[in-house]
Amino acid sequence: QSESAGVAEIEVTVLSPTGQNVPVKLTQQDDYEHSIEFVPQAAGHYKATIMYGGEAVPNSPITFAVQSAGGKSDSHASGNGLEVAHRGKETSFVVFCPTTPNVQIERSDEQAERIEPRIKNMGNNQWKIFYTILTVGRYEIRASCTNRGPLPGSPWNISCLDPAKVTPIGGWGSLLDGSGKLVLPSKIVFDTSMAGPGELTCYVDDAEVMVEKQGNGKSVLFLSDDGLSKGEHSFDLTWSGLPISQSPGFVYVTGMTIGSDRVVLTGRGLTTAQVGEVSHFTIDATDALSGKPEVHMSYDDGETLPVTLLQPRPNELIWLASYNPHKSTGGPLSLEVEWNGRIIKGCPLTIPVGPAVDAAKVLCSGEGLRNGVVGREIKSWIDTRRAGPGELTAHCAGPRKVAYCELYDHGDATFTLNVKPQEPGRHTLTIKYGGQHVPGSPYTLRVVGAPDASKVRVYGPGIEHGVLATFQSRFIVDTRGAGAGQLTVRVRGPKGAFRVEMQRESQKDRTILC
């Protein structure tokens, strides 16, 4: 399936178990779908490599097993060596086969590094396979028996891991107290980039602790003391089931908390608010460790305003606070945040409340609200002068990618919106004022690919030499793959121009008969 990959040539090669090329039939079933067929001549492992436009497609090459017709199924393999390998340590699994099995171990990426296994006869049709991998990564194990074909489950995809490379940034020493103990609550950022393709798992007293996986080989672990009694608690840290050697076996809860001066407030909702518009701010107590916030908000006239607190990650001491003022006549709002019963630094805060925003009075215009071309800016104009003070936002999403949006403020409550799509297809443009949709939002934009005249094909007798009496003047213009554009055809002869008629079955048909 190649609909989102553009137009390019597909190449498929299939290698037999002996390394010979196998004839392949490639059939185009639809504009973007192709089927691949071949007839295996022998049992074993076959490897298919699929290239699109000269580049390998994701997960290529693909290895799969072909069983012999009517073969016995009592041959099989089992053992931890078919699941995971520890870098630099000998790993093994057992094969049940009447004859010496054929075993191949190969790295799955473009390096295709081969690992030589050691095979030991254990008797009773049992064979123990030993191997040692020195480089972390993903590997493929293929095993077969003579005259019986591949074993059930072959090929196996395994990961070679090095749990010793899972280390906290700054080292374990930076996380321990003076007596060498890991005291909760604690936040640990791990570097796992050199440990291989695995997953970090943590348990405290047999209760799993969630791990946040970040980019660039980083994982974050938030260890809270909530619900834990004072004293020692078991701590189990593994990398895809393999223990992390330098990790402490216990964590400790002292019952002591750090003061409210470490809590930090951020967000636009701390400085201004609008009637009928939800305002937000963040309470970050990462450095304050154990505790919970309490928030109090009220008008100058004494009326209280409820504040909603949301903790996105239970193991992280960060809360998102939101409130929605219903009037501006009661004076500014007073905000007070407490941590463990103590008012944090900077509180109470005074927040002015502005009048309500009327998004229905926002005017939007321009061709950019309807259609556009990939790679070109789509412009529209927005007038908020009659809508009152508020925040204007725009967001445009395509089938798979988000389009770049830029709002240019003219300084008189009018704006120019520039949208630059990255892909063709239907886009949804959302324009909000004061958190509310403006009239017509969300808009549906039809974005087409940039025109490419080099992709247009012209063929037929009408563009070839001929005799006037029998000349056939029709020809076909095929614009498939050329993007959006206006087709223009002009024919001139010795005595001037000809009238050209163009026909197609439907408005969406990209093949035109002239």
Can you give the residue ranges of every domain in the chain? Answer: 10-66, 76-161, 164-253, 263-354, 359-448, 452-513
Distance from C-alpha of 500 to C-alpha of 471, rounded to nearest angstrom? 15
pLDDT in tens, 431-458: 998 888 999 989 998 888 777 778 888 8
What letters, b where the CB count within 10 A reaches 16 and e where it falls short, cover 222-238? bbbbeebeeeebebbbb
Task: Using alpha carbons, list the distances in angstroms from residue 441 to 133, 362, 409, 432.
Answer: 57, 11, 20, 8
Q: Which CATH superfamily is domain 452-513 in?
A: Immunoglobulins (2.60.40.10)
Q: Which fold has domain 10-66?
A: Immunoglobulin-like (2.60.40)
Judge whether residue 40 has pLDDT over 90.
no
Helix (H) or strand (E) segment spanning residue 221: strand 218-223
Q: pTM to 2 decimals?
A: 0.44
Task: Report the residue count for the chain.
Answer: 514
Residue 462: predicted pLDDT: 79
**What's the pLDDT score for residue 453?**
78
- pLDDT over 90, % of the chain: 24
Average pLDDT over residues 249-262: 72
Tell me the average pLDDT of the chain: 84
- For CA atoms 211, 212, 215, 219, the dihedral sign is negative
Q: CA distances (Å), 396 to each of 130, 196, 376, in order? A: 55, 37, 14
End-to-end CA gap in the chain: 32
pLDDT at 72 over 70: no
DSSP for 247-262, please give it. S-SEEEE------GGG
- What fold characterizes domain 263-354? Immunoglobulin-like (2.60.40)
pLDDT at 237 over 70: yes
- What is 359-448's CATH topology? Immunoglobulin-like (2.60.40)
What are the Cα distances from residue 465, in Å, to 288, 468, 489, 513? Answer: 86, 10, 18, 19
For residue 60, the one-letter residue type is S
Fold of 164-253: Immunoglobulin-like (2.60.40)
Q: Do domains 164-253 and 452-513 have the same CATH topology?
A: yes
Task: Give bridge partners of residue 489 from the DSSP assignment.
Answer: none
Please give the CATH architecture assigned to the domain spanning 76-161.
Sandwich (2.60)
Tokens of 31: 């504009």
Residues 312-336: tens digit of each pLDDT: 887 788 899 999 888 777 678 889 8
Residue 386: the pLDDT is: 85
Please report how many Cα atoms fall inside a 13 Å half-sphere around the Cα of residue 107, on the Cβ side.
16
